[in-house]
Amino acid sequence: MAQAANAFQDYRLSGVRRFLQTAVVIDNEAEMRAVPAPSTEPKVAVRKPAGVLKQEPASAAAQPESDEVPAVEPVPEAGKQNAPLHSAAGSLNAKLLTDAFSEREIICGLYRPEPGENMVSLATNAAKHADVVVVDWLLENNSSVKAVEIIIAILKDDISGNGRLRLLSVYTSQNGVSVIAKELFDQIVAVPELADKFTLSGVAIVGANVRICVLSKPQSIGDDDVEKVSEQDLPERLLKEFVHLSAGLLTSFALHSISAVRRSAHHVVAVFGEELDGAYLAHRSTLVDPDEAVEFAINLLLGELQNAIAVDERLDGQIGSDVLNSWVDVKSVSHKFVKGGAEASPEIVKEFVVGGFAKLKATKDKLTKADGTAAEGGLGGHNVGEVFYASAADAWQRQIEFARLSAFKREAYGRTRLPQGWLPTLTLGSVLKVRGPKNEAEKPNYDDLGANYLVCMQPRCDSVRLAGATGFPFQTGEAATKEFNLVVKERDLSAGTPLIISGKPGSTQVVKFEADPDAKSVRAKKDGDDFIFTDSKGREYFWLGDIKDMKAQHDASALAASVHRVGLVELEFLRLAAAKEIKVPQAK
């Protein structure tokens, strides 16, 4: 099993190696010169009991609060060169570090802050697009205040953008890395936006898609049992730390796929050379609605990026059977594959995970109960996801999250990172929820809607270049109690609300909206955390998201097919035969 399990671990690590391209190192004592032997004299941190958010700003004339005696460089004798200088305590050999990153095809940027400059803002800007950020613990006046401020600023910036994968490392010559981790953790959770998002695990601070590790520089003293990481070894150690952020099968697949897109990005841009501008403009000029050309260009670009993933030259980016089998082995160490009291062994799980539905049906006689006796029936094709989770409730939550991911290209309250100032436009696939009357007097105004959820069926070409009030057709829906065909995310609710959306022409609701005179389309307005559409009667609707283009078009086509259905009076014998209720007699 150990060898098989390594396939999944290797898949994760290779994905990280391919994905990581940029690192930023923030250290006020970085030196771009050879440093033969570091000093063993440590810096002494000045720790203040007050939180970083409450600390008084230091005076410009303040002296470092430390007992450390500044080192005095020897004056060279006349006619002689200085002897090679040793590294001062806490300094960073940036030459060794950047070379080590380069050997792994990672570009390492170096920011050496100076006293008095706005290092928090500069460091946060530098970190915005970096895959890995390394911060020295004592950046100014032998104090950790600035380091903490930088880390908190980066975390808050990430949260404002709806989150991202983030690896931060405190790289320090101070002893007591566990104390530093605890101090940093306490400062982070004291920030209201971050209070409930992190836990302390040893010398690492862990959050959703975030990991902050505290590592010791080689010249640190004390704590003999603490691992010291040299500049040459730091990139490899950070690669392995990043693997903790890619524990999932799909996460690793995404890293491999994004890596393929990154590596082909310049090629894709070159494909869309300026010589094609005339062809694009000719296409735009012949369209009744010229703005459709933008959607056409987007689809062209997406096709090239999708092709980059599909024809990725690196086979290690594929989710092969060895990776799937290895995932099951790793999972089985701490998890039993159980559904409804019936347990499947890891070997059985491997069979249907690799072989699909045919193997899943064959589990009928292979399952056991908790007491080891044979279980009747098999896992079947429904809710098989329960075997991969600790409970049926957990499986349900994760599968409806996956359902949302498969259906929506953007969501109001979900995973989507929406740019500042962006507003949704009402068009094919927009999903709305009736906000409802604010008082008794408004109730009659909502009576004719007849449903709480609406899915827009207006063709895209009829959603633009509008003037005045325009009718928009919607398919209506309600929160599901049994069967459902769409899952939406609502503010302050669970992972998703299952809906049953009618696909029948008789359930179509037409609502009129006034077009924005500037945009020539119907635009929502921002109201706190909500996006609100308002119709011509003043009724309000929450925008919940936009369904993916192909699914929205598929649903619209299914509705159109229902409209075109021919009511033919046919021979009942043939109708029943087509429905497989009458069969051809077998010859005797």
Element (H, E) at 116: none
> Is 116 within the bounds of a domain?
yes
Q: Are residues 207 and 263 in the same domain?
A: no
| DSSP code, position 65 | -
Check residue 83 and give its pLDDT.
34
Q: 404: closest CA among 495, 306, 477?
A: 495
Q: Please answer whether residues 116 and 24 qualify as being in contact, where contact means their C-beta atoms are separated by less than 8 angstroms.
A: no
Residue 278: phi, psi to the nearest 5?
-60, -40
Check residue 155 and give its pLDDT.
94
Check residue 494 and give its pLDDT.
75
Q: Are residues 334 and 369 in the same domain?
A: yes
- By the 10 Å C-beta count (0-12 exposed, 13-18 middle, 19+ buried), 563 is classed as exposed
What does the alpha-carbon distance between residue 490 and residue 276 come to, in Å, rounded to a whole number?
Answer: 43
> Is 581 within the bounds of a domain?
no
**CA distances for 479 relative to 34, 453, 484, 498, angstroms:** 67, 8, 8, 6
Q: Are residues 257 and 356 in the same domain?
A: no
Q: Are residues 523 and 380 in the same domain?
A: no
Check residue 431 and give its pLDDT.
97
Q: Please answer whether residues 100 and 233 qualify as being in contact, where contact means their C-beta atoms are separated by less than 8 angstroms.
A: yes
Of 198, 224, 247, the position where a domain reaches its end is: 247
Looking at the DSSP bridge assignments, the partners of residue 433 are: 453, 542
Q: Which long-range contacts (CB under 8 A, 24 or more apart) does 55-63 make?
A: 55/145, 58/140, 58/141, 58/143, 60/116, 62/141, 63/141
**Taking the CB of residue 222, how many other CB atoms lie within 10 A of it?**
10
**CA distances for 481 relative to 179, 400, 435, angstroms:** 52, 14, 21
What does the alpha-carbon distance between residue 502 and residue 488 come to, in Å, rounded to a whole number?
Answer: 15
Q: Please answer whether residues 151 and 212 qualify as being in contact, where contact means their C-beta atoms are separated by less than 8 angstroms.
A: yes
* Residue-wise burial string across 170-193, b where 16 or more C-beta atoms lie within 10 A, e elsewhere: bbbbbbbbeebbebbbebbbebee
What does the alpha-carbon distance between residue 7 and residue 62 come to, in Å, rounded to a whole number?
Answer: 56
> Is 545 within the bounds of a domain?
yes
Count, residues in the chain: 588
Q: Please answer whether residues 40 and 89 qualify as being in contact, where contact means their C-beta atoms are separated by less than 8 angstroms.
A: yes
Q: Are residues 371 and 272 in the same domain?
A: no
> Is 588 within the bounds of a domain?
no
Looking at the DSSP bridge assignments, the partners of residue 259 are: none
What does the alpha-carbon distance between residue 260 and residue 243 come to, in Å, rounded to a whole number?
Answer: 18
Q: Which domain holds residue 478?
A: 406-563
Of 247, 267, 299, the position where a domain reaches its end is: 247
Q: 167: closest CA among 227, 199, 214?
A: 214
What does the alpha-carbon distance between residue 473 and residue 456 come to, in Å, rounded to a whole number?
Answer: 6
Q: Are residues 459 and 410 in the same domain?
A: yes
Q: 430: closest CA among 300, 505, 541?
A: 541
Q: Are residues 436 and 382 in the same domain?
A: no
Of 198, 230, 247, the position where a domain reaches its end is: 247
**Those residues with Cβ within 8 angstroms of residue 134's Cβ, 6 or more apart along the chain or in another chain:** 23, 24, 25, 26, 27, 168, 169, 171, 234, 238
Encode 160-193 in three state secondary structure: HCCCCCEEEEEEECCCCHHHHHHHHHHHHHCCHH
What does the alpha-carbon distance between residue 231 and residue 38 come to, in Å, rounded to a whole number?
Answer: 12
Q: Are residues 460 and 438 in the same domain?
A: yes
Q: Are residues 417 and 378 in the same domain?
A: no
What does the alpha-carbon distance between residue 72 and residue 53 come to, in Å, rounded to a whole number?
Answer: 35
**Roughly what angle, to the nearest 10 degrees, separates helices 321-332 and 2-19?**
110
Q: Please answer whether residues 499 and 478 qualify as being in contact, where contact means their C-beta atoms are separated by less than 8 angstroms.
A: yes
Check residue 161 and give its pLDDT.
79
Check residue 460 and give its pLDDT.
87
DSSP-based three-state secondary structure for 562:
helix
**Roughly what angle, to the nearest 10 degrees, separates helices 145-160 and 177-189?**
50
Query: pLDDT truncated to tens, each residue of the chain (588 aa)?
Result: 455 558 899 999 999 999 999 999 999 988 876 555 455 455 555 554 444 444 444 333 333 333 333 343 443 443 333 333 334 456 889 999 999 999 999 999 999 998 888 999 999 999 999 999 999 999 988 899 999 999 999 999 998 877 889 999 999 988 889 999 999 999 999 999 999 899 999 999 999 899 999 999 987 766 566 788 999 999 999 999 999 998 899 999 999 999 999 988 999 999 999 999 999 999 999 987 788 888 899 999 999 998 988 887 566 667 889 999 999 999 999 999 988 778 888 999 999 899 988 888 777 666 776 666 666 666 665 678 889 999 988 999 999 999 999 999 999 997 778 888 899 999 999 999 999 888 888 888 888 887 899 999 999 888 988 888 999 999 999 999 889 999 999 987 778 899 999 888 888 999 999 999 988 899 999 999 899 999 999 999 999 999 999 999 999 998 888 887 777 777 888 888 888 888 888 876
The first and second tokens of residue 529, run together, are 């955390």
Q: What is the CATH number of the domain that holds 111?
A: 3.40.50.2300
Q: What is the CA radius of gyration of the chain?
A: 31
What does the alpha-carbon distance between residue 527 and residue 421 come to, in Å, rounded to a whole number?
Answer: 12
What does the alpha-carbon distance between residue 468 and residue 520 come to, in Å, rounded to a whole number?
Answer: 9
Q: Are residues 156 and 231 in the same domain?
A: yes
Q: Are residues 298 and 435 in the same domain?
A: no
Q: Please answer whether residues 239 and 139 qualify as being in contact, where contact means their C-beta atoms are separated by less than 8 angstroms.
A: no
> Is 430 within the bounds of a domain?
yes
> Is 65 within the bounds of a domain?
no
DSSP-based three-state secondary structure for 78:
coil
Helical residues (DSSP H) of 136-276, grouped into ranges: 145-160, 177-189, 234-243, 249-271
The first and second tokens of residue 140, run together, are 């100014």
Q: 183: closest CA among 220, 228, 214?
A: 214
Q: Please answer whether residues 53 and 149 qualify as being in contact, where contact means their C-beta atoms are separated by less than 8 angstroms.
A: no
> Is 576 within the bounds of a domain?
no
Check residue 533 and give its pLDDT.
97
- Number of structural domains in the chain: 4
Q: Are residues 456 and 557 in the same domain?
A: yes
What does the alpha-carbon distance between residue 396 and residue 388 come to, in Å, rounded to a whole number?
Answer: 11
> Is 585 within the bounds of a domain?
no
Measured over the CA atoms of residue 392, residue 397, residue 402 and residue 408, the dihedral's sign is positive
- By the 10 Å C-beta count (0-12 exposed, 13-18 middle, 19+ buried), 359 is classed as middle
